[in-house]
């Protein structure tokens, strides 16, 4: 049996991990996850919400160069790997949503 969260990074990033409300994110990637959490919450916890997920993908892509250079103190994760993992997971969710809502 898998235990949640399956991935965790910073204060807000992770599958089945909603973070530390009220606390500042650790770095730019973590800030993207914080915004995604707020978006999902605002859409009645629709984790497959296309707008929220595309916004996260765009944010992570924009933050990637900065985050690699300025990660938070104590971080032992490879930030590029974290960004790649977030991107792969969210792209899979976007694809799943497109299949689930496909009308023949």
Write down all domains in the chain, each with its CATH number in brackets. 8-100 (1.20.90.10)
Question: Percentages helix, strand, coil for the chain, rounded to the nearest 5?
Answer: 55, 5, 40
Instruction: Give me the active site residues, please.
Output: 36
Per-residue pLDDT of 62-90, as tens digits, reads: 998 777 777 778 888 888 888 999 999 99
Query: Which residue's entry shows tokens 């914080």?
Result: 34
CA 100 to chain centroid, in Å, comes to: 21
Instruction: Please tell me the predicted confidence (pLDDT) of residue 5.
Output: 53
Q: What is the pTM of this model?
A: 0.84
Q: What is the DSSP letter of 10?
A: T
Residue whose token pair is 């689930």:
100
The predicted structure's pLDDT at residue 42: 96
């Amino acid at each position: 049996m898998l235990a949640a969260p399956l991935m965790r990074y910073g204060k807000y990033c992770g599958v089945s991990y909603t973070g530390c409300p009220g606390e500042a994110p650790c770095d730019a990637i973590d800030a993207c996850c914080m915004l995604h959490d707020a978006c999902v919450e605002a859409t009645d916890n629709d984790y497959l919400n296309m707008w929220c997920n595309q916004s996260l993908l765009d944010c992570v892509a924009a933050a990637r160069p900065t985050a690699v250079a300025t990660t938070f103190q104590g971080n032992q994760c490879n930030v590029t790997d974290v960004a790649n993992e977030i991107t792969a997971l969210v792209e899979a969710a976007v694809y799943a949503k497109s299949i689930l809502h496909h009308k023949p």
